[in-house]
Structure 1
Amino acid sequence: MKSKLLLSAALLPFAAHAEGKQPDPRPNIILFMVDDMGWQDTSLPFWTQKTHYNEAYETPNMERLAGKGMMFTQAYASSISSPTRCSLISGANASRHKVTNWTLQKNKQTDRKSDVLQLPDWNYNGVCQVAGVNNTFQTTSFVELIKDSGYHTIHCGKAHFGSIDTPGENPTHMGFEVNITGHAAGGLASYLGEQNYGHTKDGKPTSPFSIPGLEKYWGTNIFATEALTQEAMKALDQAKRLDQPFFLYMAHYAIHIPIDRDMRFFEKYKKKGLDDREAAYAALIEGMDKSLGDLMSWLEKNGEADNTIIIFMSDNGGFSSDMHWRGGPMHTQNYPLNSGKGSAYEGGIREPMIVSWPGVVKPGTKCDKYLLIEDFYPTILEMAQVKKYHTVQPIDGISFVPLLTGKGDPSKNRNLYWNCPNIWGNTGPGIGPTCTIRSQEWKLIYYYETGKKELFNIPQDIGEKNELSAQYPSVVKRLSKELGAYMRKVGAQRPSFKATGKPVPWPDEI
């Protein structure tokens, strides 16, 4: 049954606005989500020092946004797209919602096979708003809640909430009144208008990754990132006329593969000395950054800049340079972080994040406290002043508004948890069936197949080069106990051994 929002007394003035009694003073909110962006894929350094990668890329609008708001140096997500986006929309940890690998086809797992492990029957159909759909996690979306409170809700770009032909496939089922191109796929066939974004001349999609809904740009030289930005601004024009606060989820396909050339910026990076692939990747980044700048400029031109919150985030780390795709190395750089997308190491889960909130967040500041993607759920509801609500699912996220206001520290004495009992599509350091805990300075990774445990002191060793389990056995024991207890508490899944049929031990059982 659809969850019904309870309006508190504080929300009654907003409800009254529907009768024309008074305007709704709540802020607009833009969540600007980038796909597969590495921690160093920007001229804005999220580390304590600049690296040569920061010098190579140009992201002036990320710098512009950071100048207006707060950078988060320890913002975490899952290492794969679907788990992150399902945690975002549900507020539940991936260990609980069990969408622990990427989703696409209905009733089909996307795991690589293992000779040793039988992987669990995870929720490969994603999340959805109704009960009774197999291998899904039923959720009350935060978007539905803010829509019911009076927000106009817009989705633009990549959705990746549910598999093809499931209810979660369509963002309008999640509370979005406007859906621009959002569907089941987690990537795109082509960024190029000349290639109809992955459609034949007679309009047939060439793959499940062909971008729907951009027909008006077919046959042009307009890059998909720019087409989505133009469509988003048209939707904002309409939102302005509606005279409601709006929520825009600007979910770019960039900078996900394929590494197509955005010719607006490609030659500039070639002149900098980058090879063709590196220049194309850098151009993808700058095209994404231009989109951010265009939206910020729209707000300024339309008198909405002082009443709009902007949240910038990536869904997972970028491919690291030691990974391969279609026979060639990837060139995303997460340095000084270890590894990249799909990995339990920092390069897979630590993301670039910025929040601007005029009048609330002090401009040009940094926060080194940690948070996790499910925290966006209660945070956005708090920003929208939605104070009382019912959900069909437990909410694991904790609002990080106190970090933005400087009035509290929700990360204090808090553990973060990840579970990936799957085998993702690529190989690389830290990739494999794992569960992980971050507890203040310590991070423990447990490998399901081998029983191996790795311990790192993250503030002292951001690159995870010094494995400390032998030196600190008491810390390993404590974190193993807390990790195992949490996994059991939320009903997390684990693989089994093919040879015996028995489940792999939890970390506190070894």
Structure 2
Amino acid sequence: MTMIPGKFCQGACVLAIMMLVACKPDADKQSRQAPNIILFFVDDMGWQDTSVPFWKERTAFNQRYRTPNMERLAAEGMKFTQAYATPVCSPTRISLMTGMNAARHRVTNWTLYKDKLQPMETGHATLDFPYWNVNGMTPDSTLDHAVYANAFPYLLQGAGYHTIHVGKAHLGAIGTPAENPLNVGFDVNIAGHAAGAPKSYLGMENFGNTAAFEGSPWPVPGLDKYHGQDIFLTEALTQEAVAALDKPVNEKQPFFLYMSLYAVHTPIMADKRFLQPYLDMGLDSIEASYATLVEGMDKSLGNLMDYLETKNIQDNTIIMFMSDNGGLSAVARGGEKHTHNKPLSSGKGSIHEGGIREPMIVKWPGVVQPQTVNDNYLIIEDFYPTILEMAGVENYQPVQQVDGESFVYLLKNNESGQTAQRPLFWHYPNQWGPTGPGIGAFSAVRLGDWKYIYYHMDQRVELFNLKNDIGESVNLAEENPGKATELAAVLTAYLQECNAQMPSLKSTGTPVPYPQQLLN
């Protein structure tokens, strides 16, 4: 048989076109069904910085703060009472983006300048700190002192999502690729850069972009049109986020919005729209100003929820609410230090619960039963596989090893009781700065109700039963040496598996031993 190439090609092309036409409605249907996802991520917000109670009872702090939109979100979704991050911002944000535990990704402290340890680490009296991944994460495998990884927004992008970054990034040091979120999987970047705090929240101060701060890393970039206006940073970011959503919404493209506010991080500045009622409560000026940061954050959440309803897409949009570390308490706050997260002990920078337990809510219409409460514990790296599963992204093969475990099953089953227990790990071979309960270089594990903490400087151990002692007031290490030994072994095995970095003792020049090594 003689084959005529042109006719064969023509016939094949017609067949291919017919197949594409036949398949197109299903493809469009799948595209329409892919859920939009908003991750509303707050900076330095403590477990108690809300009118939504995440404990068994309402507290004085729950009475202080006004967060009606968090209440609205909790009424429409699932509240998690034991959601964990790390005690400091960059380790949490890298774990979120990569799905890796901090012991593995080695971005164990907050990043800023390329190839430089933090000043508080270079002159420590008793410890020499390891050269951790000071440059943050990177899409470039050749960059030193950084963790090479595929961020989950990059994978969402590949699956057809329009990805939007708004606010704080803090993913890569100045002069490295991840300084700009566009290099790690975002189609749009609004105001994200290397620094982890704003110089100013005030548009009248150009968010810090003034001649006095030229060359400083702290001024917020990209919001020039608001300079000189009487507008608060949180409000400007919210307006920008809403405007950025119009494109994917109008084009009916699924979107991922990473709404990463700078609030409620220092500097503690008053959002005057909300200030007077807190002064009327009798709060000092610092605490009243802090409360306005919280309420302004909540208004931002409400504005986004209102936008979804206006566009009639609320039923196909997942909203996840989370904070990057515990609430600030050791410095800069009004009142007594280390008390701003009570009944939890301590705050930001601490491995005690006040430094790592976060307010978390998930709304997933049609999947999550409204007004539910989940007491299972989870950790920040779990968001990576969870979000990808929510989006229907399957068989992905990132370059990094993912430690996180999806919690979609908890959302779908509306589980409220404890499921199978797994260990959660924290590792901080670094120096944060201030002192206080649980603050210092440490490694820690939680397994079930038990939490074991190992401090690097003096090899001191703490053991708490969180079910009976949420405030970590009674150290049970001597009373229950068997449990301490058990958890020391679990923690050591994980640190060894990750080849986790440890500080060295200046007195001997030797690395701090892993906890189980002290028992051998």
Is residue 261 from structure 1 mapped to residue 302 from structure 2 by the alignment? no
Q: Which has the larger radius of gyration?
A: 2
Partner amino acid for 1:121? Y
- Distance in 2 (CA, whole Å) between partners of 1:338 and 1:16 is 56
Partner amino acid for 1:223? F
- Distance in 2 (CA, whole Å) between partners of 1:353 and 1:328 is 26
Is residue 367 from structure 1 mapped to residue 377 from structure 2 by the alignment? no
SS of residue matched to 1:43: coil
* Unpaired stretches in structure 2, ≥5 consecutive residues: 1-19
1:8 corresponds in structure 2 to none
State whether residues 200 and 206 of structure 1, in contact with CA within 8 Å, keep that contact through their aligned partners in structure 2.
no
Partner amino acid for 1:226? E
1:475 corresponds in structure 2 to 483
Is residue 211 from structure 1 mapped to residue 220 from structure 2 by the alignment? yes
Is residue 271 from structure 1 mapped to residue 280 from structure 2 by the alignment? yes
State whether residues 16 and 22 of structure 1, in contact with CA within 8 Å, keep that contact through their aligned partners in structure 2.
no
- Distance in 2 (CA, whole Å) between partners of 1:332 and 1:254 is 20
- Distance in 2 (CA, whole Å) between partners of 1:335 and 1:38 is 10
1:228 corresponds in structure 2 to 237
Is residue 27 from structure 1 mapped to residue 27 from structure 2 by the alignment? no
2:83 corresponds in structure 1 to 75
Give the fraction of aligned pairs with identical amino acids, expressed as a percent: 55
* Alignment match of 1:131 (pick from 123, 130, 141): 141
- Distance in 2 (CA, whole Å) between partners of 1:21 and 1:237 is 20
Report the CA distance between 1:472 and its aligned residue: 0.7
State whether residues 39 and 333 of structure 1, in contact with CA within 8 Å, keep that contact through their aligned partners in structure 2.
no
* Alignment match of 1:351 (pick from 353, 358, 365): 358
Moved over 2 A (4+): 15-24, 204-207, 324-332, 407-411
1:87 corresponds in structure 2 to 95
- Distance in 2 (CA, whole Å) between partners of 1:349 and 1:39 is 9
Distance 1:111 1:421, change over 3 A: farther
Report the CA distance between 1:151 and its aligned residue: 0.6
Partner amino acid for 1:90? T
Distance 1:244 1:114, change over 3 A: same
Work out the number of aligned pairs and report it. Answer: 495
Report the CA distance between 1:362 and its aligned residue: 0.5
SS of residue matched to 1:196: helix
1:5 corresponds in structure 2 to none
SS of residue matched to 1:197: helix
TM-score, scaled to structure 2: 0.92
1:316 corresponds in structure 2 to 325
SS of residue matched to 1:324: coil
Report the CA distance between 1:108 and its aligned residue: 1.1
- Structure number having the greater helix percentage: 2
* Alignment match of 2:498 (pick from 487, 490, 493): 490
2:15 corresponds in structure 1 to none
Deviates more, 1:185-194 or 1:325-334: 325-334
* Alignment match of 2:253 (pick from 232, 244, 252): 244
Report the CA distance between 1:18 and its aligned residue: 12
State whether residues 127 and 136 of structure 1, in contact with CA within 8 Å, keep that contact through their aligned partners in structure 2.
yes
2:204 corresponds in structure 1 to 194
- Distance in 1 (CA, whole Å) between partners of 2:390 and 2:30 is 20
- Distance in 2 (CA, whole Å) between partners of 1:388 and 1:328 is 51
1:443 corresponds in structure 2 to 451
Report the CA distance between 1:425 and its aligned residue: 2.3
Report the CA distance between 1:277 and its aligned residue: 1.0
- Distance in 2 (CA, whole Å) between partners of 1:21 and 1:433 is 51
SS of residue matched to 2:243: helix
State whether residues 338 and 345 of structure 2, in contact with CA within 8 Å, keep that contact through their aligned partners in structure 1.
no
Give the CA RMSD over aligned residues.
2.1
Superimposed CA distance per residue, residues 233-263 of structure 1 (whole angstroms, 9 cap, x where no aligned partner): 0001122122111000000000000011101
State whether residues 99 and 384 of structure 2, in contact with CA within 8 Å, keep that contact through their aligned partners in structure 1.
yes
State whether residues 161 and 255 of structure 2, in contact with CA within 8 Å, keep that contact through their aligned partners in structure 1.
yes
Distance 1:163 1:342, change over 3 A: same
State whether residues 400 and 410 of structure 1, in contact with CA within 8 Å, keep that contact through their aligned partners in structure 2.
no
Distance 1:328 1:220, change over 3 A: farther
Report the CA distance between 1:80 and its aligned residue: 0.2
Distance 1:329 1:211, change over 3 A: farther
Is residue 394 from structure 1 mapped to residue 401 from structure 2 by the alignment? yes
SS of residue matched to 2:491: helix
In the TM superposition, what are the counterparts of 1:494-509 in structure 2 within 5 Å? Answer: 494-509=502-517
SS of residue matched to 1:370: strand
Is residue 419 from structure 1 mapped to residue 427 from structure 2 by the alignment? yes
Report the CA distance between 1:20 and its aligned residue: 6.3
SS of residue matched to 1:285: helix
Report the CA distance between 1:131 and its aligned residue: 0.4
1:185 corresponds in structure 2 to 195
- Distance in 1 (CA, whole Å) between partners of 2:285 and 2:455 is 37
Distance 1:332 1:174, change over 3 A: farther
State whether residues 453 and 469 of structure 1, in contact with CA within 8 Å, keep that contact through their aligned partners in structure 2.
yes
- Distance in 1 (CA, whole Å) between partners of 2:340 and 2:333 is 18
Distance 1:199 1:331, change over 3 A: farther
- Distance in 1 (CA, whole Å) between partners of 2:288 and 2:247 is 36
Report the CA distance between 1:130 and its aligned residue: 1.3
